[in-house]
């Protein structure tokens, strides 16, 4: 579990500025939702809905833009578990995931709860950027 962030309005503004992002109303609200309550896994659609329900007017396009800007700034990490939908994780440390293929829920697996041993050499002319383990699960049969 990642250390909870200081989620005061000013702290969030400071964090955004530190990334070279202007603290706008929309970014502040989205950051508040994302970093205000422990580790989270969101989709653009889901975060957008949440913001709307929370009373903040944000366009879906801005949610997409913001998620990518946050990812680029290192505040988020993209998790690829579904071809057709992008997931973002507020836990940016090295770790892995359970993915429920029925409910489409993501759950963290702490980095040290899995050991990947004996990684073979990367193909000629390439270097390893990241190692991602996805454990697909389904509802247990009754």
Give the contacts of 100 (CB within 8 A, at least 6 positions apart).
106, 107, 137, 138, 139
Task: Work out whether 73 is an interface residue with DNA (CB under 7 A).
Answer: no
Residue closer to a copy of itself (CB basis): 19 or 86: 86
Task: Work out whether 84 is an interface residue with a copy of itself (CB under 8 A).
Answer: yes
Q: Is 100 helix (H, G, I), strand (E, B) or coil?
A: strand
Among 5, 23, 39, 98, binds DNA (CB under 7 A): 23
- Would you state the structure tokens that stand for residue 56, as one six-digit string? 């903040």
Question: Could you tell me which of 73, 74, 69, 104 has the C-alpha nearest to residue 91?
Answer: 74
Task: Work out whether 32 is an interface residue with DNA (CB under 7 A).
Answer: no
Residue closer to DNA (CB basis): 86 or 109: 86
Q: Is 73 helix (H, G, I), strand (E, B) or coil?
A: coil
Task: Work out whether 115 is an interface residue with a copy of itself (CB under 8 A).
Answer: yes
Among 7, 43, 92, 100, binds DNA (CB under 7 A): 43
Nearest distance, CB of residue 13 and DNA, angstroms: 7
Element (H, E) at 72: helix 60-72
Task: Work out whether 85 is an interface residue with DNA (CB under 7 A).
Answer: yes
Nearest distance, CB of residue 136 and DNA, angstroms: 17
Q: Which residue has the tokens 């502040």?
A: 28
Q: How far apart are CA 55 and CA 136, in angstroms?
A: 35
Contacting positions for DNA (CB under 7 A):
13, 17, 20-27, 43-45, 57-62, 64-66, 68, 83-86
């Amino acid at each position: 579990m990642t250390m909870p962030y200081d989620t005061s309005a000013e702290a969030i503004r400071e964090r955004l500025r530190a990334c070279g992002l202007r603290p706008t109303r929309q970014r502040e609200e989205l950051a508040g939702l994302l970093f205000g309550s422990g580790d989270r896994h969101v989709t653009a659609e889901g975060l957008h809905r949440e913001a709307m329900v929370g009373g903040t007017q944000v366009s879906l396009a801005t949610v997409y833009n913001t998620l990518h800007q946050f990812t680029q700034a290192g505040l988020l990490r993209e998790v690829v578990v579904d071809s057709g939908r992008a997931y973002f994780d507020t836990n940016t440390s090295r770790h892995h995931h359970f993915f429920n293929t029925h409910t489409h829920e993501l759950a963290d697996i702490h980095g040290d709860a899995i050991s990947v041993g004996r990684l073979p050499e990367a193909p000629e002319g390439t270097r390893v950027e990241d190692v991602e383990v996805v454990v697909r699960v389904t509802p247990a049969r009754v």
